Structure 1
Amino acid sequence: MPPSALRFSSTLRVAHLGFCQFPDAAAGQAHFPRLRHLTLRLVTVSEQSLHALLAGSPALHSLVLKYSYGFRRLRINSRSLSCFAVHYSDRPARSGTEIMLQELVLEDTPCLERLLHCGTYRDDGMRVSVISAPKLKMLGRLTDRIGRLELGTTVFEGLHLIRMATVMMSVKVLALYNNYLSLDVIINFMRCFPCLEKLYIKTNAAGMENTLADKPLDRIDCLDLHLKRIVLGFYMGNKSHVDIASFFILNARVLESMKLLVETHLVQNKMWAENQCKRLQLENRASSAAQIEFATFQWFSCKDIHDLSDPFEYVL
């Protein structure tokens, strides 16, 4: 990146840096007092320089890291940051030897509302620690590949609960990539986020046997009081998927809509849809207002994910 790129640093409000290397020498000059939106796309930047860049941006509102490299650990302390999105790649870009992000720590983020994992699902072994984010409303996609997730003193390894000690009342929207489609996993997250209003679940497998679907459970606040919308993709209509979907239909008392994303030929098959409705026990739904929709998945590409009030409606 040429030094001239910083000549407007005192007045800059939006910066998109891409396909370059951010030099360590520039880190000491990186002072952006008015910068609100920063995107680094395919940028190589050292951990020291990235931290200096963020420290020099006291008004930063949103940060997007798209397939950027050169840092293994990112610790965020920002009194202004509202939205943080990180995109992982299937493999390191270019030479294949780049240092990739492995640990994310949200240490002091009092205004953070959205923590988004975008792009592909390659976050093998990633460690995420949310120490202080009291206003966090939207979280995801959390995947099976994640190494460790710490939410206060609650700990998940992969998506499996290790210790439940903290609940986050602020979280309203959650997206999960659960390839084995385990109801036990989903319920643990609902207990962690008792005020959840929207739940997005994606799987690419047939799922597993979910014995919990037929057993009485202790009270789950979000099922009784808050959960209004569920999107499940890709729904295959087999027993495992039916068990998951019918669990919500039979137990979510304020559910307004459930969208099941299926292959195009199934949406057009009325006989298949009618059979699925019977298997889902719609006549016994817990919420009389609940609407069930079979739909095809729409690939959606947006230039700025922060322009969307709910990006998981388009990028599941």
Structure 2
Amino acid sequence: PPAMEAAAPPVANQGESHGTAAKTARCGDSDESAADFISKVPDAVLCTIISLLPTKDGGRTQVFSRRWRPLWSAAPLNLEVRTRHPGPGVPIRTSSVFPDAASEVISQHPGPARRFCFHGLCPGDLHDQAETWFRSRALANLQQLDVGYAFCDERNPGRNPLPPSALRSAPTLLAAKISCCDLPREMVPSMGFDLLQRLSLISVYISADVFRGLLPACRALESLHMSNVLGTCCLHVRSPTLRSICFRDTSGKAELVIEDAPRLVRILMPFGIRENCGTIRVICAPKLVILGPLLPVVSKGASSADLANSMHTVKILALRCSGYALDGVLNILRRFPCLEKLYIIFHKHYETDAKIEPQYDRLYPIECLQTHLKTVVFETFVGHDKQLEFAKFFVLNAKVLNKIEFEGIYGATNDVSLAYQHTLLRVENRASRDALFEFNSRYRNTAIHLRRHIHDLSVADPFEQL
């Protein structure tokens, strides 16, 4: 269509990047060419492939041959819109088009749409233009929605309302990400998200009663991501289908309460270097296996009986702490008697660091250290005195350990350095004679890794980075 031609020139001269299909284009309409194996692929499969391509590339497929020309219109639309040039020296996302081109594409494509991404809503003409898009035939049965304002003014909630028609495709949505918007009170109760499996709310202003009405409307929801949700300090979650929650709160003031989540397997809490991560309370999550990364000072106050009982199911736990927080870590470990794998992510936390020596009473041992804990991973381990004392505690007290990993240690491949580390850690006196020690110098950013795989439910251990 003209919009695609305006957005990007034809690629008939770029045969090297398009394989046999592009060779066919250079030869004209020779669909019968023996070398054109793609022509043997059914139209339905080709339409699926086109729908997975970026916006411009999907439109460019029409130049390949006569057979390809109608396929773009038959394929579910994949449309990503940008509102402005990113600035000098910043590369332009080649997968996106400008609003004028987007309007022409939407007017010519019959639908349905697989994906629509638009971050740039603002009051005025563009807001009205977005309303027109959402009410179009092309976006009537949208599967994936990623929409948000260009910025978020947290001091003035209510100024960035989500366009009323943005959730017009609620019954067909499979995944939705809403950013820097206000969810109006009257919008959610009328919605029925029958197929929605993945939902992300990023810097969204939503009242407590609207949030309570949102989750029951998501009847197939499996993965929920909430980051800096505004409008309520306490988020109550009740869902019979939810399997994963990712929760982030940079203020440290929000509370997440898991009231009833019978299928919930994991709670993830990505973080920044100086961030708190909010507070969680688990009342009923009988299948919870994976939790973290938590701050010991945050979790130390969670001492309800319901929380303690639910933590028997947790097998994988990640904690953020400095080398001075061993007491807080030990208090947490008492709540996870069946823990099998522990991640310790060292960092400097200025508000809570205190130089207090650990107090461990062996007359009251920690159950997981005695019978279940098999693996401990220390991330961003640099080997200073406090970190060494911290690690040494697990070397000397974890009785069934199979492996201890140290990541980030300088000189990890140096034999002399490794021997020195073994001496400092008192490896010869380890509580588990089967424990293996692994040192490496790679640096892993757990927070970034988690954010990249927030909705990936196929990963058995989301903290493990191979």
TM tier relative to shorter chain? 0.7 to 0.9
| 2-structure distance, mates of 1:207, 1:258 | 26
> For 2:412, which of 260, 267, 275 is the aligned residue?
267
Q: Which residue identity is paired with 1:113?
A: V
> For 1:277, which of 408, 422, 433 is the aligned residue?
422
Q: Which residue identity is paired with 1:54?
A: L
| 1-structure distance, mates of 2:229, 2:255 | 14
What's the TM-score, normalizing by structure 2? 0.57
Matches within 5 A, 1:41-80: 41-80=202-241
2:339 is the alignment partner of 1:196: yes
2:393 is the alignment partner of 1:247: yes
Q: Do the aligned partners of residues 195 and 242 (structure 1) sit closer, same or farther apart at CA in structure 2, a change above 3 Å counting?
A: same
Give yes or no for contact 1:42–1:67 (8 Å, CA) kept in 2.
yes
2:275 maps to: 122
2:298 maps to: 146
Q: Do the aligned partners of residues 30 and 179 (structure 1) sit closer, same or farther apart at CA in structure 2, a change above 3 Å counting?
A: farther
2:454 is the alignment partner of 1:309: no
2:163 is the alignment partner of 1:20: no
Stretches of structure 2 lacking an aligned partner (at least 5 in a row): 1-161
Q: Deviations over 1:207-259 (max 9, x none)?
A: 8453547x644343322321111111332323332222222223323212211
State the 1:196 CA deviation: 0.1
Give yes or no for contact 1:31–1:53 (8 Å, CA) kept in 2.
no
Relative to its length, the structure with more helix (as a share) is 2
What's the TM-score, normalizing by structure 1? 0.81
State the 1:145 CA deviation: 5.3
The total of aligned residue pairs comes to 294
| 2-structure distance, mates of 1:298, 1:202 | 10
2:242 maps to: 81
Q: Percent identity?
A: 34
2:232 alignment partner, SS class? coil
Give yes or no for contact 1:167–1:192 (8 Å, CA) kept in 2.
no
Give yes or no for contact 1:132–1:152 (8 Å, CA) kept in 2.
no
2:255 is the alignment partner of 1:106: no
1:162 maps to: none
Q: Which residue identity is paired with 2:316?
A: V
1:70 alignment partner, SS class? coil
Q: Which residue identity is paired with 2:439?
A: F
Q: Do the aligned partners of residues 211 and 104 (structure 1) sit closer, same or farther apart at CA in structure 2, a change above 3 Å counting?
A: closer
1:169 maps to: 312
Give yes or no for contact 2:345–2:379 (8 Å, CA) kept in 1.
yes
Larger Rg: 2
C-alpha RMSD of matched pairs (Å): 2.9
| 2-structure distance, mates of 1:147, 1:253 | 25
| 1-structure distance, mates of 2:321, 2:195 | 40
Select the structure with the greater relative contact order (CA < 8 A; seq sep ≥ 6): 1
1:297 maps to: 443
2:321 is the alignment partner of 1:178: yes
Stretches of structure 1 lacking an aligned partner (at least 5 in a row): 92-99, 156-164
Q: Do the aligned partners of residues 148 and 190 (structure 1) sit closer, same or farther apart at CA in structure 2, a change above 3 Å counting?
A: closer
Q: Deviations over 1:129-179 (max 9, x none)?
A: 211111111111111553874354278xxxxxxxxx647310111111123
> For 2:199, which of 38, 49, 53 is the aligned residue?
38
Q: Which residue identity is paired with 1:237?
A: G
Give yes or no for contact 1:223–1:252 (8 Å, CA) kept in 2.
yes
2:164 maps to: 3
1:118 alignment partner, SS class? coil
2:190 alignment partner, SS class? coil
Give yes or no for contact 2:323–2:387 (8 Å, CA) kept in 1.
no
2:209 alignment partner, SS class? helix
